[in-house]
């Protein structure tokens, strides 16, 4: 036996000091391998729509209702099933209504508790008792375990269980117990959650979504372009801060910054009133929804213009600082002809909607004024000192990455950059060429340096510049377009110059050779693997389909954000993968949490079964199964070492 292996086994023997302890664990792990795999839930492009996100999370994209149907079949009316489902989604709020309306509350408690116990038994049946025990709410752990565990030694089981429920009601703990069971059902119906990018921007509640995710029992995140720019802002990148504020202003969501994160925007507002108070801001209109307070419109447009001009300046400085990005075509402030109100782009002259930029010096257009420098420094301090934002971004770094390989699925937000021929596109970074998986890996490494390399300012600056490139660069995997035409969309009259052309990847989505090449690049089989992709909304109303390449690639961005629903025709796709196969779920728009509670109006979801397994997929077929088999092998080696006298059993005290 090699010294390194013996050293590892000695370490393992501290945890399993006897033959009996090691044997018991082998038996336990071997049994877990035979259990059905847990249900995975995939969501993407949430864009701050926290109410719809919370509802889809609570109902598991219809998984809770399916469990109710399986358990009760035709023994419950559709009305009772809807009521039970709503109670599970929103137990506290629904209980408040029931208490006002129900005449015989004790009978209602008895019936409801029995039904909730039945559903809890069903959703927990494919997990080990140990895993269920860890998920139980502390206050009711013993009681719930008694109710959902078969007691072979008890002769009159019905009387035993009835007495437990009767006592819960008698001592006035029914409401708390209903809440505990409902939240446990939500917890058990989904074993693992994947967020395939873009939590931030557009909608009003990314901070609420991240609060929820940070408490979630099992989750991973693939960074989207809108996530990465917020991560850069939290790191202190001025250009990312400008982008974040501009997008928040454009969509009438400055409250997210001010109230959600407590970031002080008064310095920007004061500066905008002074510098842009007398300018025409009509090109910087606000795309607001019904929640927006229009009394703020004039000021918000001035702030919108001020931060946009700051963004153009800061981006120009970064592009000149990083010639390796090859983004000189984005240097446009110096191409403006103020007298003729035109701009030259790609050798063509275009008319501009607005050239009234009082803070731009035509002789040195990318220089910040002293006032602008002061505003940006105060904003930088506000971002880097915001405890809540820093906590959320550290969570994104800890649980997130640019891509994820999980249970034969490759998850990423945008695209794998390809050239016109379908070959992996090469990108030069620090003189080294990267493509395919290697490009993702090096970009992620730089992103982490941009946040964490505080003791190496030059590496941190390079990392922050790279974060901005990941957000807007033409060869960025999470952006996937030739340019971000922000300047043109705001300021140029002609529509054709505003077009952003997608990477060749999107043209080749149904080419099986290309998809197989991508799967192999990330170490996956081409037979049973899938790519799960976000970022580009699927326009169902135009006949587009989220299912590409015969089901090998699934684009599950269908318009979670209200800003996209007019374009897509639906309100998002989600994906559910369980022990029976994979199901793609298309959601109708979510009205409101209040409607869901009062009128029991669940989101109508139309699902498509993508794959059905002939035999139930077990834990043994998953990545966790591979880890468990490795653990079993090491424990068997430990047993062998004990039995051959290489190691001595430790005395149990």
pLDDT tens string 626-648: 999 999 999 999 999 999 999 99
Q: What is the pLDDT of residue 565?
A: 57
Contacts of range 586-589, beta carbons closer than 8 Å, 24 or more positions apart: 586/540, 586/558, 587/52, 587/56, 587/61, 587/558, 589/52, 589/562, 589/565
What is the number of alpha carbons within 13 Å of residue 245 lying toward its C-beta? 34
pLDDT at position 73 over 50: yes
Q: 471 or 78: which carries more pLDDT confidence?
A: 471
What is the number of alpha carbons within 13 Å of residue 459 lying toward its C-beta? 10
Task: Give the helix/strand (H/E) hosting 607.
Answer: strand 605-612
Helix extents (H) in 205-278? 206-215, 225-235, 238-250, 254-255, 266-276
Contact 394/213 with Cβ under 8 angstroms? no
Cα 144 to Cα 177: distance, rounded to the nearest angstrom: 9
Cα 501 to Cα 482: distance, rounded to the nearest angstrom: 6
Task: Give the helix/strand (H/E) hosting 195.
Answer: strand 192-195
Cα 87 to Cα 575: distance, rounded to the nearest angstrom: 24
pLDDT classification of 230: cutoffs 50, 70, 90:
very high
State mean pLDDT over 606-624.
81
**Per-residue pLDDT tens digits for 120-137:** 999 998 888 888 888 898
With left for phi above 0 and alpha for psi between -120 and 50, is residue 402 left, alpha or beta?
Answer: alpha
State mean pLDDT over 109-113.
93
Cα 540 to Cα 529: distance, rounded to the nearest angstrom: 25
pLDDT at position 312 over 70: yes
Q: What is the pLDDT of residue 560?
A: 66
Q: What is the pLDDT of residue 155?
A: 59
> SS3 for 71-103, per residue?
HHHHHCCHHHHHHHHHHHHCHHHHHHHHHHHCC
Cα 280 to Cα 355: distance, rounded to the nearest angstrom: 9
State mean pLDDT over 274-279.
94
- The two structure tokens encoding residue 36: 């059905």
With left for phi above 0 and alpha for psi between -120 and 50, is residue 561 left, alpha or beta?
Answer: beta
Cα dist from 59 to 68, 109, 133, 587, 611, whole Å: 11, 22, 22, 12, 21
Most confident of 39-43, 365-369, 615-619: 365-369
Average per-residue pLDDT in the chain? 90
Q: What is the pLDDT of residue 338?
A: 94
> What phi, psi does 350 have (nearest 5°)?
-125, 150
492 beta partners: 352
Q: What is the pLDDT of residue 467?
A: 98
432-434 and 409-412: which strand pairing? Answer: unpaired
pLDDT classification of 541: cutoffs 50, 70, 90:
low
Contact 292/254 with Cβ under 8 angstroms? no
Cα 554 to Cα 552: distance, rounded to the nearest angstrom: 7
Residue with tokens 């117990």: 177
Residue 215, number of CB atoms within 10 A of its CB? 8
What is the number of alpha carbons within 13 Å of residue 354 lying toward its C-beta? 20
What is the number of alpha carbons within 13 Å of residue 180 lying toward its C-beta? 19
Q: Judging by beta carbons within 10 Å of its beta carbon (0-12, 13-18, 19+), is residue 239 exposed, middle or buried?
A: buried
Q: Judging by beta carbons within 10 Å of its beta carbon (0-12, 13-18, 19+), is residue 155 exposed, middle or buried?
A: exposed
Q: What is the pLDDT of residue 148?
A: 85
pLDDT at position 603 over 70: no
Q: 249 or 611: which carries more pLDDT confidence?
A: 249
pLDDT at position 192 over 70: yes
Cα 106 to Cα 580: distance, rounded to the nearest angstrom: 39
Q: What is the pLDDT of residue 40?
A: 92
Measured N-to-C along each axis, helices 225-235 and 238-250 cross at an angle, to the nearest 10 degrees, of 130
Cα dist from 99 to 82, 176, 180, 208, 595, whole Å: 18, 13, 17, 28, 18
608 beta partners: 584
Q: What is the pLDDT of residue 126?
A: 85
pLDDT classification of 380: cutoffs 50, 70, 90:
very high
State mean pLDDT over 345-364.
94
* Of residues 289, 247, 227, the one with CA closest to residue 565: 289
Cα 473 to Cα 425: distance, rounded to the nearest angstrom: 13
pLDDT classification of 171: cutoffs 50, 70, 90:
very high
pLDDT at position 558 over 60: no
Q: What is the pLDDT of residue 653?
A: 47
Q: 4 or 22: which carries more pLDDT confidence?
A: 22
**The overall pTM is greater than 0.85:** yes
Q: How far apart are the first and last CA of the chain?
A: 29
């Amino acid at each position: 036996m090699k010294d390194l292996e013996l050293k590892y086994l000695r370490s393992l023997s501290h945890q399993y000091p006897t033959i009996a302890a090691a044997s018991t664990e082998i038996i336990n792990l071997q049994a877990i391998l035979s259990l059905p795999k847990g249900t995975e839930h995939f969501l993407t492009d949430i864009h701050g729509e926290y109410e719809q996100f919370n509802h889809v999370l609570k109902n598991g994209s219809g998984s809770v209702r399916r469990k109710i149907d399986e358990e009760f079949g035709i023994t419950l009316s559709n009305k009772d099933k809807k009521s039970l489902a709503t109670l599970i989604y929103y137990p506290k709020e629904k209980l408040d209504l029931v208490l006002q309306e129900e005449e015989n509350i004790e009978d209602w408690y008895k019936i409801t508790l029995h039904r909730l116990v039945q559903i809890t038994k069903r959703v927990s049946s494919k997990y080990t008792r140990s895993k269920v025990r860890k998920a139980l709410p502390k206050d009711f752990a013993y009681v719930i375990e008694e109710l959902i565990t078969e007691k072979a030694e008890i002769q009159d089981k019905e009387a035993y269980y009835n007495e437990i429920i009767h006592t819960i009601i008698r001592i006035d703990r029914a409401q708390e117990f209903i809440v505990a069971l409902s939240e446990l059902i939500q917890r058990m119906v989904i074993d693992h959650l994947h967020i395939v990018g873009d939590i931030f921007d557009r909608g009003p509640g990314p901070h609420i979504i991240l609060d929820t995710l940070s408490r979630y029992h099992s989750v991973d995140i693939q960074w989207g372009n809108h996530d990465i720019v917020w991560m850069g802002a939290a790191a202190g990148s001025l250009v990312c801060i400008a982008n974040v504020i501009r997008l928040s202003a454009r969509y009438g969501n400055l409250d997210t910054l001010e109230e959600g994160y407590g970031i002080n925007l008064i310095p920007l507002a004061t500066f905008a009133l002074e510098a842009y108070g007398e300018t025409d801001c009509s090109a910087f209109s606000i795309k607001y929804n019904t929640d927006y307070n229009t009394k703020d419109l004039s000021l918000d447009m001035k702030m919108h213009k001020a931060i946009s001009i700051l963004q153009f300046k800061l981006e120009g400085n970064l592009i000149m600082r990083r010639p390796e990005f090859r983004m000189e075509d984005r240097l446009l402030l110096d191409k403006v002809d103020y007298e003729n109100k035109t701009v030259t782009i790609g050798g063509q002259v275009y008319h501009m909607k607005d050239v009234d930029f009082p803070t731009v010096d035509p002789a040195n257009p990318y220089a910040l004024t002293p006032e602008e420098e002061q505003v940006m420094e105060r904003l930088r301090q506000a971002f880097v000192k915001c405890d809540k934002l820093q906590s959320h971004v550290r969570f994104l770094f800890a649980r997130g990455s640019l891509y994820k390989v999980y249970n034969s699925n490759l998850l990423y937000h945008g695209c794998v950059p390809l050239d016109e021929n379908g070959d992996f596109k090469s990108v030069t970074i620090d003189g080294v060429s990267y493509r395919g998986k290697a490009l993702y890996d090096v970009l992620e490494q730089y992103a982490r340096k941009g946040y964490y390399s505080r003791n190496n300012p030059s590496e941190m600056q390079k990392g922050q510049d790279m974060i901005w490139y990941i957000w807007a660069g033409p060869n960025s995997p999470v952006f996937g377009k030739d340019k971000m035409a922000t300047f043109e969309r705001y300021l140029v009259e002609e529509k054709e110059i505003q077009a952003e052309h997608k990477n060749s990847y999107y043209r080749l989505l149904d080419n099986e050779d290309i998809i197989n090449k991508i799967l192999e690049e990330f170490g996956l089989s081409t037979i049973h693997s899938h790519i799960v992709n976000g970022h580009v909304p699927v326009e169902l109303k135009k006949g587009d389909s989220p299912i590409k390449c015969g089901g090998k690639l699934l684009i599950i961005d269908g318009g979670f954000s209200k800003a996209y629903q007019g374009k897509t025709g639906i309100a998002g796709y989600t994906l559910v993968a369980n022990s029976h196969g994979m199901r793609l779920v298309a959601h109708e728009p979510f009205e409101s949490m209040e409607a869901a509670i009062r009128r029991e109006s669940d989101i109508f979801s139309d699902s498509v079964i993508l794959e059905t397994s002939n035999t139930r997929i077990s834990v043994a077929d998953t990545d966790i199964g591979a880890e468990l088999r490795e653990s079993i092998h090491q424990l068997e080696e430990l047993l062998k070492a004990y039995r051959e006298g290489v190691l001595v059993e430790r005395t149990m005290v």
